Structure 1
Amino acid sequence: MRTGSRIGSLLVLVWLVIGAIAAAQRGYFSGGDTSCASAATIAVTILAGPLNYVGVNPQIECELPQPSQ
């Protein structure tokens, strides 16, 4: 059972590394201000992993509520 969990952990790690590479190739890590939408897009791109290379291009739109005055 331990071998199965090691293989599973390795697969998840490789999946996330591929997603991070895809996000870097799209220029998501290169400076600028970070908004809710850009942070969410980076996270979803990393979670999509290798699916980025078969046409998945996740984009997230979000707006944070403004504080009352």
Structure 2
Amino acid sequence: MRIGSALIAIWLIIGVLATWQRGYFTGSEDPDCARATTIAITVIAGPLNYVGVNPKVEECDLPEPSQ
């Protein structure tokens, strides 16, 4: 159990590092859905970012609440 938790933590730390290196944490003062989703997917992809995976979300349509 400890080894699995440690591997997941390392995986996510590598993902945060890749996200930081790509400059996703800086820039736009008004983050939108596509930017937030790109950051989340890049963090989750973790080490795969270093073997060529470049996840990006160009559009994000959020559902509107019913009236």
TM-score between both structures, scaled by the size of structure 1: 0.84
The answer to whether structure 1 residue 20 and structure 2 residue 16 are counterparts is: yes
- List gaps (5 residues or longer) in structure 2: none
Q: CA deviation at 1:66?
A: 5.8
User: Number of matched residues?
Assistant: 64
Question: Of the candidates 33, 37, 55, which is equivalent to residue 40 of structure 1?
Answer: 37
Give 1 or 2 for the bigger CA radius of gyration. 1
TM-score of the pair, normalised by structure 2: 0.86
Gapped runs of 5+ residues in structure 1? Answer: none
Tell me the percent identity: 64
1:16 and 1:66 map into 2 onto residues whose CA distance is 31
Q: Which has the higher helix share?
A: 1
What CA RMSD, in Å, does the superposition of the two structures yield over aligned residues?
1.6
